[in-house]
């Protein structure tokens, strides 16, 4: 079935600013609270949010096999369970409804009133209930930088890294959408030179520039997903800020991996951009340095050319872009990650989320964490307001953005994930 | 509110075999499929399964604040969200209904017919939808054994171990109830002496004798749970077999922890025994070797005296008990684990599951894994049928059991978690 929604020549009757991440060729999916305090599934074109629940009730999805309440839910999980064919039918239909030549909704004011919302009339929610969240570690530059800093510059990459898309389980309950602030975590750390750990606020709160993909129900317990089928089970991607407390991490992570250093929060951009929408931006992954085992051999363009950037905005000040990277730097692609994750029969379900790991590029201005940008605090990063940062300070806001653009005036973007770091939590006096 | 359900003198009008794990003083909670193909929440006394959904519809829980459909669900999550006071009211009421002196249900055959089921008429399901699953590593004997085998016998415990209840995130989607078989996983391993990894069936499939506790909604993002409140958020416990592929684990786990070595399956006993039912079996934890930081200082008897055993049953043969351990050996208790888990503000929700880590005792016959019992394969374990085991073989069934007993003729038990290891999965020819 062709992805007609991607037609680059299509115009829409909705207004779309020139630099919007959401032209009619994007059509992402999200969940929002409306002015009537109702939670619904929706999409976005330009700066207009579109209530898919209302569109469906008005009959605009006639002919597509959807249950009546599929969009009247507070998560996308059930819609994602419907599978790739249905996602494509719905996205193609939405493109038709908003096509500049289609008068059906355009000229029906009653319908428009219940379907369309200004961005100031809605509040974005978590788009899915995340069952399980896995974080990979798939940027060779990032793994090399971390290995150089903390282990041995001559053997920065561990022996398994080129053979395995290394990953580990993360915490679902603390994944939150953009705009929800995060408290600086407290925890145990071992100060430099100390023999005993101390307890207190983390002094090294960091972001990690990642993207995450969301899956549909992929397999049953015991059944691996072959690499060539992996993309059938990927619904789409979001920007992902994997908040990290480096001092807590250093003390706790041997031998079972990061835990409290990571699970205090992970922030995502709220619109899921579908794999279909990203199709025109496919690209090769970096050439493998060694041939992986057969179950990890990936054919064709399985990576995506997605420009990424990170900015820090101190309180009451302007933002400074401190890193520009690209998703295409990932050594291991999503198909390899999903094939690896399931090769032992581990079940993957609708709404599961898989992070890429920090996406660092080859140059120092493309590193994806403060740990790398400030080289563990040795080289503070200068901001436009004259201040410096080794790590993130209280009341700083971290903003990540991402978009694809090639041969067209428009771009396909992710919007942003924007999170303020609050001071440590103060319990209310009883 | 007193836990009247624990009255040791209470008799029931239901038949309870002398050696049952489920006297009227237990009253665990589970989910089962009935003969009418309906999923319901229930409890068990002796060998009788009791449909709590039917009991509630018939008015037996009058006066307790419960929604009409609270037991007509396919998981216990919503009931667990109701909180400790409600759990206690319901458990106390069930004890009254089945008290030998209470004729209300006993003498009402119409009611009995819809409420009571024989065990052969039901099929146990997962009792909760597990949102997040965390596995701790809280047995000092186990951590010491593993450290001795794989690192340095003179520094077997890592520097953080006595300061932190070390834990890591596991996979929820592969947690399954007793009786569901598991396939031997395939994966990457680095054979001894080899320079390149190979792909194939794991040759070192192992169990881990654990228990896991199930939580209710405990805190919001950012808010720690103080250690003295931790038990308010613990609903109950199950037996937990944390299946492990040792050869996959060795190759993959540095630096981010175990992943595919663990997430192919974890098996649980299907009846959740409440913390209330375990109250008479409280005991001290082992004396701390060093004083932990204040947020981890635990007062009073926060551990439980629970006898545990593991048996292997080869196909068409009798079982052999290969280990006898006890939950009380855990160095870190559940209150410490939950206080640690949330000290950074990580949210804990209803249905979350937290594994203890392998529960090894001080003597070689009390070790909680084949890795330790066979000392990485160097000392094969003899079975009653004359065969030997270094690790688990295809078609072996692993059975774990647990119970408390003290000063009474009855015991409070968990039943069992029983899982057959099938050969590697063979995809169907297309």
Cα separation, A85 vs B63, whole angstroms: 50
Is B362 in contact with B214 (CB distance < 8 Å)? Answer: no
pLDDT, mean of residues A228-235: 98
Residue A256 has its nearest CB partner, among B137, B190, B222, at B137
Q: CB distance B344–A263 less than 8 Å? A: yes
Nearest CA in chain B to A352: B173
Specify the pLDDT at position A428.
77
- Which residue among B74, B93, B124 closes a domain? B124
Residue B373: enclosing H or E segment and its boundaries?
A: helix B370-373
Which positions of A are catalytic? Answer: 142
Nearest CA in chain A to B253: A256
- Which residue among A89, A124, A159 closes a domain? A124
Cα separation, A378 vs A376, whole angstroms: 6
Residue A162: enclosing H or E segment and its boundaries?
A: none
Specify the pLDDT at position A427.
82
Is A314 in contact with A399 (CB distance < 8 Å)? Answer: no
Query: Does residue A146 sit in helix, strand or coil?
Result: helix
Residue A359: enclosing H or E segment and its boundaries?
A: none
Is the predicted pLDDT of residue A414 greater than 90, yes or no?
Answer: yes
CA dihedral (B256, B261, B263, B268) positive or negative: negative
* B141 and B97 in a common domain: no
Structure tokens that stand for B162 in this block: 């006595």
| Catalytic residue (one of B18, B56, B142, B220) | B142
Is the predicted pLDDT of residue A430 greater than 80, yes or no?
Answer: no
Is the predicted pLDDT of residue A347 greater than 80, yes or no?
Answer: yes
Q: CB distance A256–B258 less than 8 Å? A: yes
* A60 and A80 in a common domain: yes
CB contact set of A113 (below 8 Å; sequence gap of 6+): none
DSSP-assigned letter for residue B162:
T
- Which residue among A86, A107, A124 closes a domain? A124
What is the per-residue pLDDT across A255-312, written as a single tens digit (0 to 9) for each?
999 999 999 999 999 999 999 999 999 999 999 999 999 999 999 999 999 999 999 9
Q: Which residues of B touch A265 (CB under 8 A)?
A: 221, 345
* A17 and A109 in a common domain: yes
* A150 and A81 in a common domain: no
* A62 and A163 in a common domain: no
Cα separation, B17 vs B20, whole angstroms: 5
* A12 and A150 in a common domain: no
Residue A256 has its nearest CB partner, among B166, B349, B425, at B166
Query: Smallest CA–CA separation between B292 and chain A, in Å?
Result: 10
| Domain assignment of residue A397, yes or no | no
Q: CB distance B186–A251 less than 8 Å? A: no
Q: Give the closest residue to A14 by CA, choosing from A39, A44, A41, A34.
A: A44
Specify the pLDDT at position B335.
98
* B244 and B376 in a common domain: yes
The CATH number of the domain holding residue A248 is 3.90.850.10
| Domain assignment of residue B88, yes or no | yes
Check if A420 contacts B (Cβ < 8 Å).
Answer: no
Q: How many domains does chain A divide into?
A: 2
| Domain assignment of residue B275, yes or no | yes
Is A235 in contact with A78 (CB distance < 8 Å)? Answer: no
* B138 and B118 in a common domain: no
DSSP-assigned letter for residue A4:
G
Cα separation, B253 vs A350, whole angstroms: 26
* Backbone φ/ψ region at A362: left (φ over 0), alpha (ψ -120 to 50), beta: alpha
Is B335 in contact with B302 (CB distance < 8 Å)? Answer: yes
What is the per-residue pLDDT across A123-175, written as a single tens digit (0 to 9) for each?
999 999 999 999 999 999 999 999 999 888 998 999 999 999 999 999 999 99
ipTM: 0.97
Strands A39-45 and A48-51, sheet pairing: antiparallel
Q: Which residues of A touch B420 (CB under 8 A)?
A: none
Residue A160 has its nearest CB partner, among B185, B251, B265, at B251
Q: Is the pTM of this model over 0.95?
A: yes
| Domain assignment of residue B398, yes or no | no
Encode chain B (430 residues) as per-residue pLDDT tens digits: 899 999 999 999 999 999 999 999 999 999 999 988 899 999 999 999 999 999 999 999 999 999 999 999 999 999 999 999 999 999 999 999 999 999 999 999 999 999 999 999 999 999 999 999 999 999 999 999 999 998 889 989 999 999 999 999 999 999 999 999 999 999 999 999 999 999 999 999 999 999 999 999 999 999 999 999 999 999 999 999 999 999 999 999 999 999 999 999 999 999 999 999 999 999 999 999 999 999 999 999 999 999 999 999 999 999 999 999 999 999 999 999 999 999 999 999 999 999 999 999 999 999 999 999 999 999 999 999 999 999 999 999 999 999 999 999 999 999 999 999 999 999 876 5
* A46 and A104 in a common domain: yes
Average pLDDT, chain A: 97
The CATH number of the domain holding residue B115 is 2.30.30.230
Structure tokens that stand for A252 in this block: 């706790």
Residue B259 has its nearest CB partner, among A167, A174, A190, at A167
Give the mutation candidate from B179, B202, B222 for the A interface (greatest A CB count, under 10 A): B222
Domain that holds residue A187: 133-301+324-381
| Percent composition of chain A: helix, strand, coil (DSSP 3-state, to 5) | 25, 25, 50
Per the annotation, the verdict on B111 as an active-site residue is no
* B202 and B112 in a common domain: no
Specify the pLDDT at position B430.
59
Residue with token string 């047995």: B139
Per the document, the length of chain A is 430
CB atoms within 10 A of CB B399: 20
Q: Which residues of A touch B163 (CB under 8 A)?
A: 188, 196-197
Binding residues of A for substrate: 137, 151, 249, 253, 358
Q: Which residues of A touch B293 (CB under 8 A)?
A: 188, 197-199
Range in A149-153, A191-195, A311-315 with the lowest mean pLDDT:
A149-153
* A227 and A139 in a common domain: yes
* A49 and A139 in a common domain: no
| Domain assignment of residue A168, yes or no | yes
Residue A353: enclosing H or E segment and its boundaries?
A: strand A353-355
Residue B250's beta-bridge partner residues?
none
| Domain assignment of residue B227, yes or no | yes
A&B contacts, CB < 8 Å = 201
């Amino acid at each position: 079935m062709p992805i007609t929604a991607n037609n680059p020549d299509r115009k829409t009757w909705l207004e779309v600013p020139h630099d919007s991440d959401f032209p009619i060729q994007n059509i992402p999916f999200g969940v929002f609270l409306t002015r009537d305090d109702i939670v619904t599934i929706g999409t976005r074109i330009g700066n207009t949010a579109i209530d898919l629940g209302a569109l469906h009730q008005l009959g605009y999805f006639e002919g597509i096999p959807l249950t009546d309440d599929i969009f009247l839910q507070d998560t996308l999980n059930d819609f994602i369970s419907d599978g790739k064919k249905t996602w494509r039918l719905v996205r193609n239909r939405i493109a038709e409804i908003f096509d500049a030549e289609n008068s059906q909704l355009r000229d029906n004011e009653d319908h428009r009133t219940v379907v369309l919302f200004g961005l100031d009339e809605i509040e974005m929610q978590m788009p899915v209930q995340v069952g399980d969240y896995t974080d990979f570690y798939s940027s060779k530059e990032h793994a090399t930088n971390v290995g150089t800093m903390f282990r041995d510059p001559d053997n920065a990459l561990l022996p398994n890294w080129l053979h395995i898309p290394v990953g580990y389980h993360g915490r679902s309950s603390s994944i939150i959408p953009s705009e929800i602030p995060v408290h600086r975590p407290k925890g145990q750390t071992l100060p430099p030179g100390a023999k005993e750990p101390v307890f207190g606020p983390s002094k090294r709160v960091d972001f990690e520039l990642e993207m995450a993909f969301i899956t549909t129900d992929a397999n049953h317990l015991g059944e691996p997903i072959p690499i060539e089928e992996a993309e059938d089970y990927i619904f789409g991607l979001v920007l992902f800020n994997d908040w990290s407390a480096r001092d807590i991490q250093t003390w706790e992570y041997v031998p079972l991996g990061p835990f409290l250093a990571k699970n205090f929060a992970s922030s995502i951009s709220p619109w899921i951009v579908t794999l279909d929408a990203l199709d025109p931006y496919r690209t090769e992954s970096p050439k493998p340095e060694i041939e992986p085992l057969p179950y990890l051999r990936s054919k064709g363009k399985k990576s995506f050319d997605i420009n990424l950037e990170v900015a820090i905005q101190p309180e009451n000040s302007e933002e400074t872009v401190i890193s520009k990277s690209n998703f295409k730097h990932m050594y291991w692609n999503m198909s390899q990650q999903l094939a690896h994750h399931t090769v032992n029969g581990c079940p993957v379900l609708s709404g599961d989320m898989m992070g890429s790991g920090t996406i660092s590029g080859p140059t120092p201005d493309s590193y994806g964490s403060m740990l790398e940008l400030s080289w563990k605090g040795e080289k503070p990063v200068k901001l436009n307001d004259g201040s410096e940062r080794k790590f993130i300070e209280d009341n700083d806001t971290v903003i990540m953005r991402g978009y694809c653009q090639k041969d067209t005036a428009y771009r396909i973007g992710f919007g942003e994930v924007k999170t303020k770091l609050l001071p440590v939590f103060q319990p209310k006096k009883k």
